Structure 1
Amino acid sequence: MSERHTLRQQIRERRRALTAEQQHLAAQQLLERIQSHPDISAARRVACYLANDGEINPLPTIHWLWAEKKEVYLPVVHPFTPGHLLFLHYTPTSPMVRNKFNIEEPELDMSRVIPHSALDLMFTPMVAFDAKGNRLGMGGGYYDRTLACWQQHQLGPKPIGIAHDCQQVAAVPNEAWDVPLPEILTPSKHWRF
């Protein structure tokens, strides 16, 4: 088993072990950090995700973004280009479906798709991170492909990783395609790299 696979399993188990109360508190503490972040205050269009597999829950953040009259977008697994994501406008009335990973996403409606370049910020989920901004995802490379243009040319949405504090590790084993993040927010800390 590879080092990345083993680390992925360990950290996924760690975050799934958090109680409902710990999850709720973490989501509220994360929201407080987000509310005081100047880039988030200035953003109009924000990509987010819906929590799965013990991820920190961004729903309180999504509700706050809506209250602030910001547009929220969620990832949808691209139906024709394997390994890629589309981002669809998400509202409280968006029809939802489950994708091939059993994750809830907006029902595909091409009129609600936004180009990545039109997003201001992208809250990026992860399995693990380290103190250098390296991120370990679920292993499909979806977010690394999405953020490749930002990494190479600083075009498109600025990524901000969000995670539980327990997802920090000493070092994430890197591959050439991995995109390090410029910032990560956890309930207790704002990391800048």
Structure 2
Amino acid sequence: MKKNLRKELLTKRSLLTEEEVFLKSLSITQQLKNSFIYENANHVMVYLSFRNEVETASIIKDLFDNSKKVYIPLTVPDTRELIVSELLDLEKDLEVGNFGVLEPKKDAIRPVSLDALDLVLVPGVGFDKKGYRVGYGGGYYDRFLPKLATSIPTVALAFEVQMIEKAPTDQYDFPVQYVVTEEQFIDCKR
């Protein structure tokens, strides 16, 4: 069921034009920036967008412009875990890594403790209003999110086409606290 839903949602997202992705991402980014969660955060983990995901390069630039620390995920395929690595330079630190996603180059891996984070932006294929997500199928964030202190806000950035009534869940699924789309800012903890 999850596999078919994932495929359907990825197809919907892939049909968004470059302009739609740009404009909707702009709206989502603005909502995020106007939130107390973002304003109060100084150590932010951001996924590096690809394949029509909500664009995150402008968020990273904004964080740098405001002298905030930026961290990115590094996937470890053998254990299906994420390492959180500090990003210092958007141009020089990155190369195409696992799954075709930008990741830190070997000499730019700067691991940090999860305790350093005060905001985590989470990618995904689909989300419901309770914060449950349909991921890409690797389970990386399902393993990662439960390790975070509950005081660290987790925010999914998604287009409205990625919102679903109810995500299929099992004991390993872990919800995000907020979902931001171009039309709404959802507090999933309510």
Structure 1 residue 57 displacement after superposition: 0.8
Summarize the alignment of residues 119-158 of structure 1 with structure 2, pairs less than 5 Å apart: 119-150=117-148, 154=150, 157-158=152-153
1:162 correspondence with 2:157: yes
Corresponding residue of 2:186: 191
Corresponding residue of 1:85: 82
For 1:67, which of 54, 65, 68 is the aligned residue? Answer: 65
Taking only aligned residues, the RMSD between alpha carbons, in angstroms, comes to 1.6
For 2:56, which of 23, 33, 58 is the aligned residue? Answer: 58
1:27 correspondence with 2:22: no
TM-score for the superposition, normalised by structure 2: 0.92
Q: Is the 8 A contact 2:86 2:109 kept in 1?
A: no
Structure 1 SS opposite 2:176:
coil
Q: Is the 8 A contact 1:124 1:159 kept in 2?
A: yes
Query: Structure 1, residues 52-91: CA drift from partner, whole Å, max 9, x if none?
Result: 2221111111111111111111111137x51001111112
Q: Percent same amino acid at aligned positions?
A: 27
Corresponding residue of 1:178: 173
d(CA) in 1 for partners of 2:93, 2:61 = 17
Query: Structure 1, residues 146-186: CA drift from partner, whole Å, max 9, x if none?
Result: 11123xx526x321111111100111110110001111111
Q: Figure out how many residues of one structure are paired with residues of the other and give that number.
A: 187
Say which is worse superposed, 169-178 or 104-113, in terms of deviation: 104-113
Letter in 1 for 2:24: A
d(CA) in 2 for partners of 1:28, 1:64 = 12
Corresponding residue of 2:96: 98
d(CA) in 1 for partners of 2:108, 2:116 = 15
Letter in 2 for 1:8: R
Say which is worse superposed, 36-45 or 109-118, in terms of deviation: 109-118
Structure 1 SS opposite 2:100:
coil
Say which is worse superposed, 94-103 or 17-26, in terms of deviation: 94-103
TM-score for the superposition, normalised by structure 1: 0.90
Corresponding residue of 1:40: 38
Structure 1 residue 101 displacement after superposition: 1.0
d(CA) in 2 for partners of 1:44, 1:192 = 21
Corresponding residue of 1:76: 74
d(CA) in 2 for partners of 1:64, 1:13 = 30
Letter in 1 for 2:162: Q
Structure 1 residue 94 displacement after superposition: 3.5
1:9 correspondence with 2:7: yes
Structure 1 unaligned runs (5+)? none
For 2:115, which of 109, 114, 117 is the aligned residue? Answer: 117
Letter in 1 for 2:86: H
In the TM superposition, structure 1's runs of 4+ consecutive aligned residues that sit over 6 Å from their partners are none
Structure 2 unaligned runs (5+)? none
